[in-house]
């Protein structure tokens, strides 16, 4: 699979996808900015992700990790990763990572996007409220 094929699949579903400076596809879905990447050494390995920044005064590290774990157990294919933290914030990535091909992706892309958006929403609701 190629980035161009991914872009075409997204456009077929009504998304406007652009290649960013890193070579990732970026697009908007359900009010969020999402990204799609292919593994350079394995073009069947796909990652769809979005990020969330949580102020440190809203949650502690354990709460972030627990909520990420809860979502991984609840939602299919979801990975929640605490990528970085400092005294002011936690930087969390919400992703679906899977092996796929063009045919499967054409059938399942909206499902994958919906799952990433649902996980991002739930994580934000729990940690930011």
- CATH number of the domain enclosing 20: 3.30.1460.10
Give the pLDDT of residue 1: 84
Do residues 3 and 25 make contact, with C-beta atoms less than 8 angstroms apart?
Answer: yes
The pTM assigned to this predicted structure is: 0.91
Give the pLDDT of residue 35: 97
Give the pLDDT of residue 39: 86
Picking from 85, 70, 55, the residue whose alpha carbon sits closest to that of residue 118 is: 70
**Which domain does 26 fall in, by range?**
3-128
Per-residue pLDDT of the chain (129 residues; tens, 9 = 90+): 888 999 999 999 999 999 999 889 999 999 999 999 998 899 899 999 999 999 999 999 999 999 999 999 999 999 999 999 999 999 999 999 999 988 999 999 999 999 999 999 999 999 988
Structural domain tally of the chain?
A: 1
Distance from the Cα of residue 70 to its chain's centroid: 16
Q: What are the strands of the beta sheet with 25-29, ordered from one edge?
A: 18-19, 25-29, 32-38, 45-55, 89-99, 78-85
Q: Return the exposure string of 72-109: e unless at least 16 CB atoms fall within 10 Å of the residue's CB, then b.
A: beebebbbbeeeeeeeeebebbbbbebebeeeebeeeb
Give the pLDDT of residue 40: 84
Gap between the Cα atoms of 83 and 95, Å rounded: 12
The angle, 0 to 180 degrees and rounded to 10, between the axes of the packed helices 102-128 and 3-12 is: 70
């Amino acid at each position: 699979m190629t980035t161009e094929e991914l872009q075409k699949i997204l456009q077929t579903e009504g998304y406007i996808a652009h290649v960013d400076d890193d070579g990732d596809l970026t697009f908007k879905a359900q009010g969020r900015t999402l990204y799609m990447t292919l593994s350079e050494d394995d073009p069947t390995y796909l990652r769809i992700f979005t990020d969330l920044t949580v102020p440190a005064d809203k949650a502690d590290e354990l709460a972030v990790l627990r909520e990420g774990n809860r979502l991984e157990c609840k939602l299919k294919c979801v990975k929640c990763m605490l990528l970085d933290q400092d005294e002011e914030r936690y930087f969390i990535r919400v992703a679906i990572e899977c092996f796929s091909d063009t045919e499967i992706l054409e059938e399942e892309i909206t499902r994958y996007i919906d799952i990433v958006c649902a996980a991002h929403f739930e994580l934000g609701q729990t940690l930011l409220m």
